[in-house]
Amino acid sequence: MLLTVSTTHRPARDLGYLLHKHPDRVQRFSQPFGTATVLYPEATDERCTAALVLEVDPLQLARRRGRTPDFSLGQYVNDRSYAASSLLGVSLADVFSTARSGRCDSRQELADGPIPLEIEVPVLPCRAGPEQARRVFEPLGWEVVAEPLALDERFPEWGDSRYVSLRLAGEVRLADALNQLHVLLPVLDESKHYWQGSDEVDKLLRSGGSWLTAHPEREWITRRYLARSASLARIALARIALARLAELGDDDDEALEPPEAEDATQPEPARVPLNRRRHEAVLGVLRELGASRVIDLGCGSGAFVRALLDDPAYSEVAGVDVSASSLDVAARRLRLDTLGDRQRERVRLFQGALTYRDERFAGYDAAVLMEVVEHVDPSRLSALVDVVFAHARPASVLVTTPNAEYNVRYELLRGRRHPDHRFEWTRAEFSTWCREVAATQGYDVELRGIGDEDVELGAPTQLGVFRRG
Ligand code: SAH
C-alpha cells in the first residue's frame, strides 16, 4: 500500500518539517496490523515527495479480529496488503499525527496556509466508482484524476475492477489534506477494517473540521464513515448540521431534526423542513394581505428574498441585514450581477441595523421579521419596535420566532435553538409582547403557529400577524 505526498513549494524540503519526518531518513513505525515506513523518493528544494508505505501482515490483522474465530480463507487471502484501504487511513493518522494537528513550531506559517500539493494513491479501493472519488475530493479544492484499474490488463474485456488510481493536485493546507485522506480513504473503501468505538463521532468531527461541515457530500461521507452504526451516523449528522448553522448564521432549524435513517424499512413521507414551511406560511399570509412591496428585515443569506422574487406578485422586494457577510452570500444566491434590468429593479439588498431609524425601511406594504427578534438584545427590543412599527410603519408586519415550549421535542437540543439567540419565548410570552406592541403602536395582532402542532406544546414556530389599524 502506497501513498505519496509531494510539494513544489520552495524550498520543497520544508515538507520534512511539516510532516515532522526528516527527508534524509527512512523511518519505520510498527502498527497493530503491520509496518508503516516513511521515506522520501525525492527531496530537492524544487520538489519533495514523501511516501508512506504500509505493509500489512494478514496474520496479525486476522488475529486482531477478536475472539470469535472465523475460519474463512477470506481473512488471510484478500487485498489488504495491496490496496490503500482504511488501514492506510489509520496509519497515516498515526504516523503524521502532529502534522494532522497543524502544529509546526519551526514553520508555523507554512503549516497554516495552503501550499501546492500533489497526492497519489496508485491503488485505491473505490466501490462507488471514479465519479464518486471526484465528487468527494473536488469540492475540497482538488483537481482529481481517478482512473479505474482494469480487472486484468491481459483481458480488457473483463472490464474494470473496483480499484482506481487516484491523483490529487491543489493548493491545500497540509493538515487539512491529511485529515481529508484519513476520513475519505475508508469512506471510499466502504469497509472499515477495525472496530468503531463510541468516540468515533468525535474523531470524525475533529478530523472533519470545517471542510466536512461545508462539504456537499457530507451526508454520504458521514454515513459511510460510520457505516456500522446508523444511530452514530445520525448523531454525527445532527452535530454537523448544528455546526453549519452556527457558521451560516441563519436559522435553519432543519438542522435540529435528526436526519431520517437511511436503512428505514418503511419509506417515510418526506418531511418538509421547518424553514421551508415558514417561508410557505409567510408567503401565504402576504398573499392574504395582498401585499406587493415587501421588505425582509434581517434577511440573512437571502433565502426568503429569493422566494419573494420568484413570485411575480411582488413588484418590489428589499432585504436588509446588519451582517455584511450574510449580504454577500445573499447577493450571490440572487445572482444580482446577472439579473436583467427589469428584475434588477425589483430587488434591493442593503446593510442596516434594525435598532436605528432608517428612511430606507419605509414605503413598503409589509415588513417581515423572520426569526430575527430573538437575535436582538432584550434591552434593544423597544428600539426595534420604534424603528419598525412607529417609524417605517408598513400596513402589516409579520413576526416569526421560536416557540420555546416546543424545544423539548428536539432530542438533540441542549439550550436554545441557535447560539446567537438572546432569548426564546413561550407562547404566553410572545402573546404578551405582541399585544403590548399592537396596543401601543396602533396595530391589530393575530397569533398563529407554523409547523406540526403538538397538542400540549403548540407549533414549533410562532407567527404574529400585525395589521395597522
Ligand atoms: N430571516 C432569516 C435570518 C434569520 S437569522 C431566516 O429566517 O432565515 C437572524 C438575522 O438577523 C441574521 O442574519 C442577523 O444578522 C440579523 N440581525 C440580527 N440583529 C440585527 C439587527 N439589529 N439589525 C439587522 N439585522 C440583524
**Predicted confidence (pLDDT) per residue in 409-461, tens digit:** 876 666 788 777 899 999 999 999 999 999 999 999 999 999 999 999 999 99
Look up cell 404566553; give the residue: 428
Banded pLDDT at 129 (limits 50, 70, 90): confident
Q: How much is the pTM?
A: 0.57
Is position 266 within any domain? no
Look up cell 394581505; give the residue: 289
247 neighbors 218 (Cβ within 8 angstroms): no
Regarding the beta carbon of 299 and ligand 1, being less than 6 Å apart is answered yes
Same domain (yes/no): 190, 278? no
pLDDT 10s digits, 27-49: 999 988 889 999 999 999 999 99
Closest C-alpha to ligand 1, atom 7: 370
Regarding the beta carbon of 14 and ligand 1, being less than 6 Å apart is answered no
Q: What is the DSSP letter of 425?
A: B
Helices vs. strands in the chain: H and E counts, helices first = 16, 14
Is position 450 within any domain? yes
Same domain (yes/no): 336, 439? yes
Regarding the beta carbon of 249 and ligand 1, being less than 6 Å apart is answered yes
Is position 318 within any domain? yes
Report the pLDDT averaged over residues 399-406. Answer: 96
Q: What is the DSSP letter of 413?
A: -
pLDDT 10s digits, 340-391: 888 889 999 999 999 999 999 999 999 999 999 999 999 999 999 999 999 9
Q: What is the DSSP letter of 12?
A: G
Same domain (yes/no): 276, 187? no
Q: Which of 189-193, 248-252, 408-412 has the lowest mean pLDDT?
A: 248-252
Residue 104 has pLDDT above 50, yes or no: yes
Q: Which of 189-198, 208-217, 224-233 has the lowest mean pLDDT?
A: 189-198
Q: How far is the CA of 135 from the centre of ligand 1 (A)?
A: 33
pLDDT at 159: 72
The residue whose CB lies within 8 Å of the most ligand 1 atoms, and thus the one to mutate among 274, 301, 326, 372, is: 372
Regarding the beta carbon of 322 and ligand 1, being less than 6 Å apart is answered yes
Reduced to 3 states, what is the DSSP secondary structure of residue 40?
strand
Q: Give the range with max mean pLDDT: 173-187, 325-339, 385-399.
A: 385-399
Last residue of a domain, one of 194, 210, 238: 194
Residue 178 has pLDDT above 90, yes or no: yes
Banded pLDDT at 268 (limits 50, 70, 90): very low
Percent over 70 (pLDDT), the chain: 84
pLDDT at 70: 46
CB atoms within 10 A of CB 53: 17
In terms of residue numbers, what domain contains 321?
Answer: 272-468
Same domain (yes/no): 55, 168? yes
Is position 392 within any domain? yes
pLDDT 10s digits, 198-219: 677 888 888 877 788 888 898 8
pLDDT at 267: 44
Is position 172 within any domain? yes
Regarding the beta carbon of 186 and ligand 1, being less than 6 Å apart is answered no
Q: How far is the CA of 380 from the centre of ligand 1 (A)?
A: 14
Which residue would you say has higher pLDDT here, 310 or 60?
A: 310
Regarding the beta carbon of 371 and ligand 1, being less than 6 Å apart is answered yes
Is position 247 within any domain? no
CATH number at residue 84: 3.30.1610.20
Could you tell me where the beta strands, DSSP code E, fall in 325-372? 347-351, 366-370
Is position 209 within any domain? no
pLDDT 10s digits, 134-160: 999 999 999 999 988 877 777 777 777
- Give the total number of structural domains in the chain: 2
Same domain (yes/no): 190, 289? no
**Mean per-residue pLDDT over the chain, rounded:** 86
Same domain (yes/no): 190, 277? no
Going by their DSSP bridges, the two strands 293-297 and 316-321 should be labelled as parallel
Look up cell 468503531; give the residue: 196
Banded pLDDT at 230 (limits 50, 70, 90): confident
CATH number at residue 364: 3.40.50.150
Same domain (yes/no): 146, 287? no
pLDDT at 318: 98
The residue whose CB lies within 8 Å of the most ligand 1 atoms, and thus the one to mutate among 251, 253, 279, 322, is: 322
Last residue of a domain, one of 125, 160, 194: 194
pLDDT at 443: 98
Residue 264 has pLDDT above 50, yes or no: no
Same domain (yes/no): 335, 186? no
Q: Which atom of ligand 1 is nearest to the CA of 323?
A: 15
Is position 433 within any domain? yes
pLDDT 10s digits, 294-350: 999 999 989 999 999 999 999 999 999 998 888 988 998 888 888 888 888 999 999
Q: Which residues pair with 170 in a beta bridge?
A: 117
